[in-house]
Amino acid sequence: MFGRIARRYDLLNRVLSVGIDQVWRRAAVRAVGSVKGEVGIDLCCGTGDLSLAFERSGAAVVGLDFTPEMLPIARAKGDKTGGRLCFAQADALLVPARDNGAAFSSVSFGIRNVENRTRCLEEMARITRPGGRVVVLEFSMPPGWLLGFLYRAYFTKALPFIGRVVSKDDDAYSYLPRTVLAWPDPDSFQSEFEAVGLQDCGYRLLSRGIAALHWGTVAS
């Protein structure tokens, strides 16, 4: 499915989020702290937008994604920057990286799609050095009756329609609201961070709770 929509993926992200997704990614970079001169691993990197955001802040980034069709688009973006970026196909549940090898690890809007998110968090903690940050940016459901109602209406009605028109794919943008509606609330997901041994865990709601930015620190 992600292979089918790869060429239109960036356009749909910008249209459906009105460009706010790029603001969210910059917030994810800030959550890690100073990354200049550091090496990070960005899982489920897709077309590379979060990897590029880290690279613009001075990091060297390895972007990994399970869908090979996404990677040529990411590489083309990386080639334009002349920065330290590498993109490769890999499974987020079995990351081809040594223990404690990265200063930070990240996932943006991808952990919903893995078969076992606990395993993914364990892998992120394994590949990140002690004291390093694990950061996850993911959609959430806004709190409150009115905003929640309006968001659900947009997400379940308008978004799939726009997605079908732009992507020409009937299933992809019906899949998105299904997975977001089934996603745990931020407190519950933070508990999953803590359950894999991450410390100083927390989260921040973005755009009134449309997205949530989660972080945790690998134990020293």
pLDDT at residue 5 in the model: 79
Residue 188 CA to residue 144 CA, distance in Å, equals 18
> Which residue spans within the chain are E strands per DSSP?
39-43, 60-65, 85-89, 102-108, 128-139, 199-206, 211-217
pLDDT at residue 167 in the model: 67
Task: List the chain pLDDT tens, one digit each, 220 residues.
Answer: 888 878 877 877 777 677 899 999 999 999 999 999 999 999 999 999 999 999 999 999 999 999 999 999 999 999 988 779 999 999 999 999 999 999 999 999 999 999 999 999 999 999 999 999 999 999 888 887 787 788 788 778 777 777 777 667 767 667 777 888 889 999 999 999 999 999 999 999 999 898 999 999 999 8
Class of domain 2-6+18-143+184-217: alpha beta
> Which of these, 203, 136, 144, 173, lies nearest to 17 by C-alpha position?
173
Q: Where are the alpha helices (DSSP H) in 57-210?
A: 71-81, 117-127, 145-153, 159-167, 172-181, 186-195
pLDDT at residue 146 in the model: 82
Residue 30: strand, helix, or coil: helix
Domain boundaries, the chain: 2-6+18-143+184-217
> Which of these, 73, 80, 70, 133, lies nearest to 107 by C-alpha position?
133
